[in-house]
A and B are shown apart, each in its own frame.
Chain A
């Protein structure tokens, strides 16, 4: 299927984003059209659903080729947040099995006697030890006791573990024991996924490395099962579907199977990328991308068009959070990623009453099955979506263009159960759930704004995700944000972002030396070998190697410091000016960042890094809007209305039901847009208008100037 053979041939670029509840599919047609689909996630047949969409698209536009398939998924982050990863075992050097639980003795800095630490990812009963030891220089101190290893393997077999992480001390210096142990485990337990720490994070600091490796192992079976099914279903269209990573870059499926930790924020990263592209196109300086899906809500700060990034993460403590410094509350994860804060509040998040009788929402989600009661698939427990249906915000008959039917009585019944216990009516209960969800989500927004010393009120919210625009205005009100953009295809926004991404891989290797004790040649050579390794790993399956652009970076620090500065390098270090030129760049950079330099101090190299980027596809956002023209002729008078509850102050009001295209002038809430992929709620104190790019702009009405409104 070669498109170059025939200029007229129509080809498709397929992007889909698998959420906790829906799979969103966006297909970019080579003639400029965009096709969109939204299907309920069938956990066992994600591929089948996507294949149906592709087939439909192929027929509709008479396509002759599929030029690529890219996708993002929340499968990893959901597994961690809900504790539903694989049954995992950990093998450590004798004497070190508890480090994963101790987490360097750290704790978040509050004086809270009630503090509960997130339970360890792998409980102690499945953390086993093997006698072996290397010294700091990589010299063998104690040889690997293979008999003991076999006993450990037998124990794990009995526990029916699905994955095993291996992390030995100093393996980043000498991986031989880890390699050997992993080899034996793989041989003895061929069905178990095995991950050795040197394969994932060959860097000093055993806790961070063990934790990252454990997370990787914990996710491997989940991702392997998922990708196996998916690729089998999609093989007939394309044999190299790509996966989104947390850093906004794409990778191939073979890589994803080995390193699922790079997919923790896979879906959300695509959304952040799309939001950044929008922010850039619209010249918005400070933006919070707010993405509310079926299971979680995410927030991410975008300044001057750039998504903030973080090199280390903590995940699983009720909130996934990029941190500048570990705080010991969740699980440490050291991979480069967009700095996205994620909380367990999505359309499918269930409402429940805690021991004290207080109403709580999430983080447990009804998922796609049984899903919210409103979907009529057997769900009986009230969810945020049920609340939004009962409040009148969502269409009481069907959503997603009629493909998902809404069971209004079931939603009311689910809420009534909770309401009865608390002596409220269903509507009050619904509002309570809506507001608690907002409070939870404002935590994510605060984590990326006020906790970074940015005033959220100076930011504009870009709201997307299936439920994002339902909550955006009320959430913004509670934080003091006055402007919300709802872009085109908000419910498919992450899928759209997938079409904007490049391929990207980051690799690091420890290289410990004083700059004066090494040579430019040795550094250049090490870089070459790292590149060779990476390219041989990724090119045969993903792309020809000529397409890759390589960026070389070096980590430097003054002798005795514990943290490095990462400097980009020109491709080859010039032996004639080495190490003088590089040393001077470091001094200058240190001075710029921290205000001082130490000319006499030796400078050390600690790591070499490479980043490989290859452009994949590009989608013109403006072209997308070109397709969209508002139909100016429509009048919004005599439009249908729906009764919706806006709280005690406003009570139940009739909200005008509109299509985006019908918005030909600024209107005042209450109004509701029922779109294919989402619902947009304009509360009574807000107004809405449309811009040239098809965005609906929601603005809080300044109460003091309300008289001016026409």
Chain B
């Protein structure tokens, strides 16, 4: 066994990340769907017990899927796997998230034993069901949401199971994309397995294991060090999610964070019961929301592995909207998931003042467009994903024009020129909206708008995570500004209903304008430095009138 020293551990850490990245690159380069190309995926490596060793480029939240799905894999397939096998799963009630997120899992064999697994999660363009894209809010049971795959073998000893591929093909609206993406996902798995075997050859399994144990301890140590620095106590926050699907008063979300020594317990007791629309959040995803939030506060630079999760316990009442019982619908859980993150940050702002930012835009917003006719090489539907930016920090402004904390990794928006190639749409503009966002000693990110002109009749599904609620300011900073979504048809501009998800028909020539919320401010606006106000005026990010009114400039 090689001598374990800090340098070897650093190299091992980067070797693992590098394998994850290689998997990600294979997937991104060869996949077909927009989601894959814009990075809505993650790649992970686990040990033989299913504990996460590292993530490559990753949508942070997808760490929760690995934790959720691996126990099932171990239980169901222990002793039944062969080299070259690849499993597939998308069951929200089996550790997955929502049906379009297909998870592929491949065992890594060394000396005839399973030495670990690679896991590749990808958000697919469609999975059948009532609404294109599989994320419609109106479904009431998971049966409406599309094809559900329990964990099954998609590849047996390297050979694709044609029967499963045929079932998938005949159930989805975009068979060529989904099948192409599945093959790309499998290729990413194979790349990861191969690279990991080379790693074991190079260092020896024992060394790899020992390094990983130390990496876990290191990450765990960083987390605990951050936690123990906070005062013991209970910190709560609650919020109403405005859209319960029936026009009622909304859904109560409640969290209590208990800090005790170097441990954190996060409990969602008091949260409302599950609902008859598709925004219930499967428990593994609820937990993932907590993980990401706490990692960013306590150990933003720690290697991501099972160690960072050790000091954290999460619970939510069974049957609540954050821990729903089968067969509740979950397809549109995205909006609710972002709100859970904001809620945990709000509680943590009390527990760790000076370490948490004010509210961001409220999560990625999306516009799905499914034109009636598919011309030439264009896609059946495209889902455009975007965000505004971060709330203000305790010592600086929020970052503008960037995805939220939990969306790092490889995610980026699609280029306008690419989008117009694959979808009959013209983007008329993308950019900052002056005089938006929350004021403060440090201000939140401005609103970002996107404007679409449709060139064909079709269906749109608009997701607006904070349709009727504002990002929250901190320490005297103002709340963020409201979103505004309008459709201009035949010269008449109409505001869309204040719902988190709206599906509607559009005609060729219609123009959709989506102004996202502006992020919230931090600290008293009266304390904002004059030169920062002046710079913002020069850059036309705020007007002189606004500066006078808000900052008394």
As a 0/1 sequence over residues 439 to 463 of chain B, the CB contacts with chain A under 8 angstroms (1 = contact) are: 0000000001001000000000000
Whether B32 and A108, one on each chain, are in contact in the complex, defined by CB atoms closer than 8 angstroms, is no
Neighbouring B residues of A193 by C-beta, 8 Å: none
Bound Cα distance from A125 to B299, whole angstroms? 37
Decide if A101 touches B401 in the complex (CB within 8 Å). yes
B540 touches A205 (CB 8 A): no
Q: How far is the CA of A329 from the CA of B250 in the complex (A)?
A: 39
Q: Are A109 and B410 in contact (CB under 8 A)?
A: yes
Is the CB of B49 closer than 8 A to any CB of chain A? no
Given contacts A104-B413, A116-B396, A206-B416, contact A98 B10 (CB under 8 A): no
**B301: interface (CB < 8 Å):** yes
Q: How far is the CA of A206 from the CA of B33 in the complex (A)?
A: 20
**Which residues of B have CB within 8 Å of A169?**
416-417
Query: In which size bucket is the chain A interface?
Result: 35 or more
Q: In the complex the two chains form, is A136's CB within 8 Å of B415's CB? A: no
B-side contacts of A111, CB under 8 Å: 60, 292, 295-296, 299-300, 405, 408
- Contact mask B7-23 → A, CB, 8 Å, 1/0? 10011001101110100
Q: Which 6 A-B pairs have the closest CB atoms?
A: A95-B429, A102-B401, A98-B431, A453-B18, A560-B32, A109-B408
CA distance A623 to B503 in the complex (A): 75
Q: Which residues of A contact B400 (CB under 8 A)?
A: 101-102
A124 within 8 A of B: yes
**Interface, chain A (partner B; CB < 8 A):** 94-99, 101-117, 123-125, 133, 135-136, 141, 169-170, 172, 204-208, 324-326, 328, 446, 450-453, 455-457, 479-480, 514, 558-563, 590, 594-596, 598, 601
* B93-101, B180-188, B280-288: which lies at the interface: B180-188
- The docked-state distance in angstroms from the alpha carbon of A254 to that of B69 is 60
B356 within 8 A of A: yes
CA A181 to CA B414, docked complex, whole Å: 27
Shortest Cβ distance from B59 into A: residue: A109
Contact B399–A106 (Cβ < 8 Å): no
Choose the segment among B113-121, B267-275, B330-338, B420-428 that binds chain A (4+ C-beta atoms closer than 8 Å).
B420-428
A99 adjacent to B430 (CB under 8 Å)? yes
A103 close to B401 (CB less than 8 A):
yes
Known contacts A102-B430, A109-B58; decide if A451 and B412 are in contact (CB<8 Å).
no
Q: How far is the CA of A113 from the CA of B411 in the complex (A)?
A: 18
B527 at the interface (CB under 8 A from A): no
**Partner among B30, B379, B413 whose Cβ is within 8 Å of the Cβ of A561:** B30
Contact A136 B420 (CB under 8 A): yes
Residue from A141, A451, A594, A601 whose CB has the most chain B CB atoms within 10 Å: A594
Main secondary structure of the interface of A (DSSP, over half): loop
What is the bound-complex CA distance between A559 and B379, given in angstroms?
A: 11
Q: Are B539 and A124 in contact (CB under 8 A)?
A: yes
Chain B interface (Cβ within 8 Å of chain A)?
A: 7, 10-11, 14-15, 17-19, 21, 24-26, 28-33, 37, 57-58, 60, 176-177, 180, 183-184, 186-187, 190-191, 292, 295-297, 299-301, 355-357, 377, 379, 386-387, 393, 395-396, 399-403, 405, 408-413, 415-418, 420-421, 426-432, 448, 451, 538-541
Bound-state Cα–Cα, A124 to B536, Å: 9
Contact flag A94-B402 (CB < 8 Å), given A114-B393, A136-B420, A450-B14: no
A108: which of B25, B176, B408 is its contact (CB, 8 Å)? B408
Please name 19 further chain A to chain B contacts, defined as beta carbons within 8 Å, in addition to the given A111-B60, A114-B395, sorted by A numbering.
A98-B432, A101-B401, A103-B402, A107-B408, A109-B409, A111-B405, A113-B300, A114-B393, A135-B426, A169-B417, A446-B10, A450-B14, A451-B14, A560-B33, A560-B180, A560-B379, A561-B180, A562-B31, A563-B28
Chain A residue nearest in CB terms to B450:
A95
Give, as a whole number of angstroms, the nearest-CB distance from B296 to chain A: 4
Determine how close the nearest CB of chain B comes to the CB of A442; give it in whole angstroms.
Answer: 10
Question: Are B11 and A94 in touch, CB under 8 angstroms?
Answer: no
- Residues of chain A contacted by B540 (CB below 8 angstroms): 124-125
On whether the beta carbons of B21 and A324 are closer than 8 Å, the reply is: yes
State which of A135, A446, A452, A455 has its C-beta within 8 Å of the C-beta of B420: A135
Q: Specify which of B58, B60, B412, B428 lies most central, judged by the most chain A CB atoms within 10 Å of its CB.
A: B412
From the candidates A109, A559, A562, name the one contacting B418 in the complex (CB within 8 A): A562
Bound together, the chains give a CA A169 to CA B58 distance in angstroms of 30
CB-defined contacts of B413 to chain A, threshold 8 Å: 102, 104-105
Knowing A95-B428, A104-B415, A124-B540, say if A560 contacts B401 (CB, 8 Å): no
Distance between A513 CB and nearest chain B CB, rounded to angstroms: 10
CB contacts (< 8 Å) of B408 on chain A: these are 107-111
A residues within 8 A CB of B295?
111
B30 pairs with A563, CB closer than 8 A: yes
Chain A proximity of B321: nearest CB distance (Å): 26
Q: How far is the CB of A329 from chain B (nearest CB, A)?
A: 11
Closest-by-CB residue of B relative to A597 is B183
Provide 9 A-B residue pairs closer than 8 Å at the C-beta atoms, listed in order of the A residue.
Answer: A102-B431, A105-B403, A109-B409, A111-B292, A204-B417, A328-B412, A514-B377, A560-B177, A562-B29
